[in-house]
Structure 1
Amino acid sequence: MLEEVNLEQNEDEKEIVSQGVHNYSQEEDYVWPTDDRVLKKLEWFKDQKLALMMHWGAYSQLGIVESWALSDADAEWSRNCIDWDVSAEEFKNQYFNLNKSFNPVRFQPYKWAEMAKDAGFKYLIFTTKHHDGFCMWDTKYTDYKTTGKDCPFRTHKYADICAHLFEAFRRQGLGIAAYFSKADWHIDSYWSEKYARGKYQWRGPSYDPLEEPEEWERFVQFTQNQIKEIGTNYGQIDIMWFDAGWVTKEISQDIRLGEVIDEIRKYQKGMLCADRTIGGPYENYVTPEQCVPDKPLNVPWESCITMGTSFSFKYEDEYKSPREIICLLVDIVAKGGNLALNIGPQPDGRLPQGAIKTMEGMGQWLNKFGECIYETRVCAPYKKDGVAFTQKEKEGKVYAIHTYTDESILSKEEIFIPYIEEFKNIVCLNTQTEVEYTKNEKGIIVKLPKEEQGISTIAHVFCLNR
């Protein structure tokens, strides 16, 4: 009976996540909040546009995909960079002991926050714990944490990583989103060898919660206690961001998330909850992963995409250029979404130099052109003929953003903007000058002003004043 249930759960769960990448909820599954404070917070969320996402934990020491290699059901794709002469059980034992060597003595939370602000980020999404269960805060419910007796980092002044990182980002005026995995592969009330499966583990619990309700309730209480700990002991939390979409009532893994979120909201007024892939009243925005929807969504959303090739730190990783990131951001914002751009910190506590270089380039561009990104909303025709549109309706401003994937801008003399609504004049933000144009039934032909080469060659940005 247990084996049959687990096989059925695996089939259901495959639709949620494939090779560590989650699917995302559809618009028809979205439930608009009824709490006015949550609705107000959603407007704040839609203003922000750009988040710094960080996957950081003991796994960064290995330079492999975070957590997933622990799951025997995910071995085929997640252990491809691990010595296959090492048995699965030996590897899992070595992985779980990484807390004993995690010692990021070069961690500088206030420096991270300064760099994030300068790069144009508006809020932080930080992994308080991933599926492996290693906690980046001083939780009292497990010793598997940065402040635990076996972790050498416990004596460092920044040992409670979440506490210091959240405070550092708040001081820069940036929002805080706490990533939390609903699955925990370290705690024995979720994964345990005493049940029928033995040592073989998949992403879900090692038992059927319907057949072992007391064991499941033990896990529920542990999980709820940790969520409340973050939500009440770590200052203002703007968003709680929940991963592990297979932990859901529909496949008998009900952690009763709603009741704990309702309790936290007594203190964190209007706090958003992103219960990924679940739909319903506690998925306040949807989260495409490593992809961008083809068209605008009519609900709040945020794409989480890596700056490099991996969410966790990867040795000698290659990072997207400022041009690639800005083009990606423009595409997302024109469709009404936010970009959560992920960087995996190094095991020593520093950010990779390749990531820092891209952040600096992003900041230069957004410092000059940020008005067409931040606090904007969608504007038809959204994106057409290589031009993306955003608007600030109350200010009577429409922005037309023509991005360039290379330096082809240098040979252009004019640009076509497929916009047919009325407006008074057009200002090119590259030069802060009014430009000449002609109109026809399909749109506007703008004569490009001369400008110096530099960061503005990533895009031409025009403000159409209505």
Structure 2
Amino acid sequence: MKLKLLTIIAFSLTIHANAQQHNTSKDYTPPTDPLVQKKLVQWQTEKFGLLMHWGTYSEWGVVESWSICPEDEGWCERKGPYKDNYFEYVKAYENLQKTFNPTEFNPQKWADAAKNAGMKYVVFTTKHHDGFNMFDTKYSDYKVTDPKDPFSANPKANIAKEVFSAFRNDNFMIGAYYSKPDWHSNDYWWRYFPPSSRNPSYNPKKYPEKWEAYKQFVYNQIGELTSDYGSIDILWLDGGWVRPKSTIDTSVDWQKSIPYDQDIDMPKIATMARKNQPGLLFVDRTVSGEYENYVTPEQSIPAHYLPYPWESCMTLGNSWSYVPNDTYKSANKVIHILTEVVSKNGNLLLNIGPSRKGDWDPNAYSRLKEIGKWLDINGNAIYNSVGDSTIGAQGKFVFTNKANTVFAIYRADENENKLPNEISIQNLTGKKIKSVKLLGASSKLKWKQDANSLQIAISDKLNQNLPCKEAWSFEIDY
């Protein structure tokens, strides 16, 4: 009966990919710690990373965490047998711990696929807002390694540790996603008061001892992640409403609605975490200041080049978490997103949600394989490059730079299989061009430089032997 009920819920809940939009912060504060500066420079050269949202919510195939949030928003909508009883719904949701058993979990398979796709860093969800821990924390029994969870008997039960180890062995930078709010914790959603929003169910100022207990809980868990899980490069902190009240930007609707000061003492946390992991990058999303080492626009790309470190986090499918029969972006679409992001000086963090069984949808693997083939040919225009702040996008072209080289990337339409016979690129002023070539092509190009432009002739022979599809990269050397 329980299994039947869970199946009904799984097929009746609505999925929302854009559950929480995160705006780009107004201000950026460069780090002063030399080790953090060095790590940040390394991260900026990597350009392409993998994000994974995974938790018990994959059992139902529903939006991550948000369906237990008692807010009147589309992404918090509940359906199924418990839709009219919030408390019964939460009970059923938390009981998913007793059925979560991803026996197909093989992190090395993911690491290999991501490496072949050209990804260079990974950010894994150690705990989302619902408070379910994908690591063996000592401070909660709501975790994958607790005996209530059937997967706890598996040798790979400490999922975060296994993921980090597999990707680290393939030379990835390692990022730990961690939710600052915890809706399972009795020190955040105190059972004495029923929750009414994503915020604490009590006023921290009125009950300071309760809030101090919660601050210690967060401190302890971040201490575990930065001391017991090998080398960590990035601490990616989500849940931007947990922040000092002085940092709230009232021009942003969701921040304007934050009712309480939720200061968790980030200086104390950062001091401890960086003692454990020197040079650790902090990504305190949307909280401007010294603990937002790079900014993270969500499901969007800024309109223009940004002069500071940033990263667009986007879904490969429509949802952050696994959804059966989700629609996945084409390789063409992802490559266009990647090239636009890099041309504007950013990195792309592409999300894939593993299933309840512990694997990705086959479509995710095929997309990554196609993207990897493109990067094998065009990676020189992406990795270690910097965005273009002077030339500006021109038609289907975006631009990246390296020392005395400009890369002009022509982004083809979905069914476009050849380049125009004549190409004109403007605003290449001030330097004499030495050579022009198409990455991956052996044939020489005919070109000429005018005062303010570059003209390139594309032969029929070249168009019949283009090295790839999706986008073509011209290397222009000065």
CA 1:285 to 1:126, structure 2 compared with 1: closer, same or farther past 3 Å? same
Distance 2:80 2:118 in 1: 37
Change (3 A) 1:159 1:398: same
CA shift, 1:187, in A, is 0.8
- Tell me the residue number matched to 1:431: 441
Letter in 1 for 2:428: I
1:321-400 alignment to 2 at 5 Å? 321-379=330-388, 380-393=390-403, 396-400=404-408
Aligned to 2:228: 233
- Rounded Cα–Cα distance in structure 2 between residues aligned with 1:457 and 1:400: 15
Asked whether 1:456 is paired with 2:468, we answer: yes
1:169 aligns with 2:167: yes
Q: Deviations over 1:344-399 (max 9, x none)?
A: 01110111111111011001101111110011012321422321111111xx2211
Amino acid at match of 1:23: N
Change (3 A) 1:276 1:258: same
Aligned to 1:99: 97
Partner of 1:309: 318
SS of match in other structure, 2:35 = helix
The answer (yes or no) to whether the contact 1:425–1:434 under 8 Å persists in 2 is no
Q: What residue number does 1:416 align with? A: 424
What residue ranges of structure 1 are gaps of 5+ in the alignment? Answer: 1-17
Residues 22-54 of structure 1, C-alpha deviations (whole Å, 9 max, x = no match): 22212xx21111111111111101101001000
Residues in 1 aligned to 2:123 and 2:330: alpha-carbon distance in whole angstroms: 21
Q: Partner of 2:372: helix, strand, or coil?
A: helix
- Evaluate the alpha carbon distance shift between residue 34 and residue 92 of structure 1 in structure 2; reply closer, same or farther with a 3 A threshold: same
Please state if 1:283 is matched with 2:283.
no
Q: Secondary structure at the match of 2:40?
A: helix
The 1-side partners of 2:358 and 2:236 are apart by 23
Q: Secondary structure at the match of 2:356?
A: coil
Aligned residue identity for 2:116: D
The answer to whether the Cα contact below 8 Å between 2:82 and 2:89 also exists between their aligned partners in 1 is no
Residue 143 of structure 1: aligned partner: 141
- Is the Cα contact below 8 Å between 1:327 and 1:405 reproduced in 2? no
Give the drift of 1:412. 2.4
Q: CA deviation at 1:416?
A: 2.0
CA contact (8 A) 1:50 1:338 kept: yes
Q: Which amino acid aligns with 1:125?
A: V
1:249-264 superposed matches below 5 A: 249-250=244-245, 251-264=260-273
SS at match of 1:325: helix
Counterparts of 1:182-197 in structure 2 under 5 Å? 182-195=180-193
1:66 is matched with 64
Deviation sequence 1:47-69 (CA, Å, 0-9, x none):
01001000000001111110011
Match of 2:219 in 1: 224
2:22 alignment partner in structure 1: 22
CA distance in 2, matches of 1:258, 1:64: 35
Residues 20, 68 of structure 1: 8 Å contact kept: no
Opposite residue 111 of structure 2, the aligned amino acid is: A
Q: Residues 452 and 142 (structure 1 numbering): CA distance in 2 closer, same or farther, change over 3 Å?
A: farther
What is the distance in 1 between the residues matched to 2:207 and 2:262?
12
Amino acid at match of 2:286: T
In the alignment, the residues of structure 2 paired with residue 110 and residue 455 of structure 1 have an alpha-carbon distance, to the nearest angstrom, of 30
**Deviation at 1:439?**
3.0
- How big is the alpha-carbon RMSD for the aligned residues of Structure 1 and Structure 2? 1.7
Change (3 A) 1:334 1:227: same
| Partner Cα distance (2:145, 2:234) in 1 | 24
Measured in 2, the distance between the counterparts of 1:80 and 1:190 equals 22
SS of 2:468 mapped into structure 1: helix
Q: Which residue of 2 aligns with 1:12?
A: none
Partners of 2:219 and 2:465 lie apart in 1 by: 54
Asked if 1:210 corresponds to 2:205, the answer is yes
Cα shift readout 1:284-342 (whole Å, capped 9, x = no counterpart) = 00000000000011110000000000000011101011111000000000000000000
Distance 1:92 1:426 in 2: 61
What is the deviation of 1:82?
Answer: 4.3
For the 8 Å contact 1:431–1:451, the answer to whether it is kept is: no
Distance 1:246 1:455 in 2: 47
Q: Secondary structure at the match of 1:73?
A: coil
**Over residues 60-111 of structure 1, what are the superposed CA-to-partner deviations in whole Å (9 max), with x where a residue is unaligned?**
1111110011111145442265456542221111111111111000000111
Alpha-carbon contact 1:68-1:74 (below 8 Å) kept: no
Residue pair 1:239, 1:273 contacting (<8 A) in 2 also: yes
Aligned in 2, Cα 1:411/1:254: closer, same or farther, shift over 3 Å? closer
Amino acid at match of 2:107: P
Tell me what 2:15 maps to: none
CA distance in structure 2 between the partners assigned to 1:77 and 1:111 by the alignment: 31
Q: Is the 8 A contact 1:48 1:338 kept in 2?
A: yes
State whether residues 179 and 237 of structure 2, in contact with CA within 8 Å, keep that contact through their aligned partners in structure 1: yes
Q: Which amino acid in structure 1 is aligned with residue 20 of structure 2? A: G
* One-letter identity of the residue aligned with 1:390: T
Q: Distance in 2 between matches of 1:119 and 1:460?
A: 17
Report the secondary structure of 1:137's partner residue: coil
Structure 1 residue 455, shift from structure 2 partner: 6.6
Which residue in the other structure is 2:410 paired with?
402
Q: Structure 1 429/190 Cα, relative in aligned 2: closer, same or farther at 3 Å?
A: same
Q: Distance in 1 between matches of 2:83 and 2:119?
A: 43
**CA drift at 1:149:** 1.6
TM-score scaled to structure 2, two decimals?
0.89
Once the 2 structures are TM-superposed, how far is the Cα of residue 276 of structure 1 from its aligned partner?
0.3
* Amino acid paired to 1:444: L
Q: Secondary structure at the match of 1:209?
A: coil
Shift in alpha-carbon separation, 1:306–1:453, aligned structure 2, 3 A: farther
After superposing on structure 2, the runs of 4+ consecutive aligned residues of structure 1 that deviate more than 6 Å are none
Pair 1:101–1:125, CA change in 2 (3 A): same
Distance 2:475 2:443 in 1: 10
CA distance in 2, matches of 1:74, 1:441: 59
Distance in 2 (CA, whole Å) between partners of 1:73 and 1:428 is 53
Question: In the aligned structure 2, how far is the partner of 1:346 from the partner of 1:455?
Answer: 35
Contact residue 374 and residue 469 of structure 2 kept, 8 A: no
Q: How many residue pairs are counted as aligned between the two chains?
A: 443
